[in-house]
């Protein structure tokens, strides 16, 4: 028998807010997380989804999105380091496209987890020049990991 786990997301706990800087979220993009819990490991991937009608090129640094912090029952169990590498990247988005950031894997057990994620980028205009405006999305989401039923795997 293999023990499985249930990962419950509290949809009402998703909060997107403006950071302390003046960078606004980009209206045609949404930041979410994709959590998976299996055999004592919680894997969390940040995902940026583009909902605009026009094809756009996004210009960003090391990663288009990242997990910045994970807390378990209030205690910090993961904190991202500052990105030391100055990388200059871009990706083309079409309507409905999404891009995953780096996945964070954490040894975890049942309980409540608070995940913080962010995405920062500029959007290129039709002349392929980056606008002066940087956009930033931040997300705080509560996750609950619960013991599930034991299932037979054949």
Which 3 state secondary structure label does DSSP give 11? helix
- The C-alpha torsion from 124 through 14 and 12 to 49, rounded to 10°, is 30
CA distance 132 to 79: 29
**Token digits of residue 110:** 């049942």
Residue 10 contacts residue 118 (beta carbons within 8 Å): no
Residue 154 in any domain: the answer is no
Place of tokens 């997107």: 16
Residue 91 contacts residue 64 (beta carbons within 8 Å): yes
Instruction: Identify the CATH number of the domain in which residue 130 sits.
Output: 2.60.40.2360
Residue 151 in any domain: the answer is no
Query: CA distances (Å), 108 to each of 38, 47, 72, 144, in order?
Result: 9, 21, 9, 11
Residue 125 in any domain: the answer is yes
Q: Tell me: the pLDDT tens digits for 89-123?
A: 899 999 999 999 999 999 998 889 999 999 999 99
Domain count, the chain: 1
Residue 30 in any domain: the answer is yes
Q: Tell me: the pLDDT tens digits for 42-77?
A: 999 999 999 999 999 998 988 999 999 999 988 999
CA distance 147 to 110: 6
Residue 153 in any domain: the answer is no
Q: DSSP letter string over 123-134?
A: EE-TTS-EEEEE
**pTM of this structure:** 0.78
State CA 22 to chain mean position distance.
21
* Domain span including residue 37: 2-145
């Amino acid at each position: 028998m293999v023990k499985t786990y249930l990962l419950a997301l509290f949809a009402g706990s998703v909060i997107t807010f403006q950071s302390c800087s003046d960078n606004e979220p980009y209206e045609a993009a949404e930041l979410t997380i994709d959590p998976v819990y299996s055999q004592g490991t919680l894997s969390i991937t940040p995902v940026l989804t583009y909902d605009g009608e026009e094809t756009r090129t996004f210009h960003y640094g090391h990663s288009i999105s990242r997990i910045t912090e994970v807390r378990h029952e209030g205690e910090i169990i993961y904190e991202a380091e500052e990105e030391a590498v100055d990388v200059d990247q871009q990706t083309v988005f079409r309507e409905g496209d999404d891009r995953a950031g780096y996945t964070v894997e954490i040894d975890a057990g049942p309980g409540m987890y608070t995940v913080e994620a962010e995405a920062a980028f500029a959007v290129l205009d039709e002349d392929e020049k980056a606008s002066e405006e940087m956009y930033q999305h931040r997300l705080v989401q509560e996750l609950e990991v619960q013991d599930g039923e034991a299932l037979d795997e054949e």
